[in-house]
Amino acid sequence: MALFEQGYSFVAGLDEAGRGCLAGPVVAAAVILPLDDQTLTRFSGVQDSKQLSMPIRERLYETIMQHAIAVGVGIGSVELIDERNILQATKHAMRSALTQLSPQPHALLLDALLLPNISLPQRSIIKGDARCLSIAAASIIAKVTRDRLMLQLHTQYPAYGFDQHKGYGTAAHLAALHTHGVTPHHRRTFAPVRELLFGLFTQPQQ
């Protein structure tokens, strides 16, 4: 709200999904929401995507896509994650999401992060996805987009259970890695995958 009060008409909230996963890309979204008397009613229920069930996230995704002023999505590939690290891949995905916005934003709100070399006012908000509506909206767009990508991977690699854990390091995922090995979509610089590649991996206790 402070940025709107300072005269910035289009303020984009940004967030990501998948930073802590062992497989799949990191996905970022940027969302510009309207600020009018209907905003809170129109986007009722929008909050941190991690606090929402899948059906509710899907419903809110459609609401955001329909009523937002602009939505952009960016991808940080597994190759980029392994080449540059997850933080740099996340920032790359966020910059890419910003380029998709039309109109372009006048200022940015981010969840505990700042983007270097961006000539826009930025505000980093701790737990922003729980405190800022546009960041929460971006978290939903990023999460739903990424989950859909992981469901596509599941059709190619059904033995890994990507439809269930979406690439996070659950016991089932670690067991599948031990049994079936590393796919091209696993992050080789992340410890459990790296340890398996170098023969240091031990199967988790069931």
Question: What is the per-residue pLDDT across 155-192, written as a single tens digit (0 to 9) for each?
Answer: 999 999 999 999 999 999 999 999 999 999 999 999 99
* 152 neighbors 58 (Cβ within 8 angstroms): no
Based on the fold, state whether residues 61 and 140 are members of the same structural domain: yes
The count of domains in the chain is 2
Based on the fold, state whether residues 146 and 182 are members of the same structural domain: no
Based on the fold, state whether residues 32 and 133 are members of the same structural domain: yes
Residue 205 within any structural domain of the chain = no
User: What percent of the chain stands above pLDDT 70?
Assistant: 93
Roughly how many angstroms between the first and final C-alpha of the chain, as a whole number? 48
Based on the fold, state whether residues 64 and 144 are members of the same structural domain: yes
Q: Which residues contact 33 (CB under 8 A, 6 or more apart)?
A: 13, 39, 43, 64, 67, 68, 69, 133, 134, 137
Q: Is the pLDDT of residue 206 over 50?
A: no
Q: Are strands 107-111 and 11-17 parallel, antiparallel or unpaired?
A: parallel
Give the pLDDT confidence of 85-100 residue by residue, as tens digits. 999 999 999 999 999 9
Based on the fold, state whether residues 143 and 181 are members of the same structural domain: no
Based on the fold, state whether residues 73 and 41 are members of the same structural domain: yes
Residue 70 belongs to domain spanning: 2-155
Q: What is the pLDDT of residue 104?
A: 95
pTM for the predicted model, two decimal places? 0.92
